[in-house]
Amino acid sequence: KAGVTQTPRYLIKTRGQQVTLSCSPISGHRSVSWYQQTPGQGLQFLFEYFSETQRNKGNFPGRFSGRQFSNSRSEMNVSTLELGDSALYLCASRENYGYTFGSGTRLTVV
C-alpha cells in the first residue's frame, strides 16, 4: 500500500500571498486530518475531513481552510500569509484508530 503523499515537500512564499497544499491519503482511507508543527507551539490540529465533509476544526483563523475531493484527496489553503505561518504542515489519514502521517510540506513565509 502506498503511504500518505504530500506535495510539495518545500515551499517558499511571500507575506500576503496564498498557498495550497495537497495530501493524498492511503487508498481506502476516507478520513484526512491536517496538523501544523512549529517549534514554539508544537503540533496543533487544524481540521479533519471525512467523505468530503469537514468533521472537526481546530482553533485557527479563517485564513486556514481546506477541502476534500470525492477520491479522498485533500487540499488545505492559507490566504494572506503571515510570517508566523511558517511551519511544517502534516497530513494524516486514518482508519480504525490508526493514523498514518505523510512527510509533510515545509512552508517558509518571507
Partner 1 sequence: GDSVTQMEGPVTLSEEAFLTINCTYTATGYPSLFWYVQYPGEGLQLLLKATKADDKGSNKGFEATYRKETTSFHLEKGSVQVSDSAVYFCALSDQVSEKLVFGKGTKLTVNP
Closer CB to partner 1, 45 or 65, in the complex: 45
92 binds partner 1 (CB under 8 A): yes
22 binds partner 1 (CB under 8 A): no
Q: 85 phi and psi, to 5 degrees? A: -85, -5
Contact partners, residue 110, CB within 8 Å, separation at least 6: 12, 13, 14, 15, 83
DSSP conformational letter for 15: T
60 binds partner 1 (CB under 8 A): no
Closer CB to partner 1, 35 or 109, in the complex: 35
99 binds partner 1 (CB under 8 A): yes
28 binds partner 1 (CB under 8 A): no
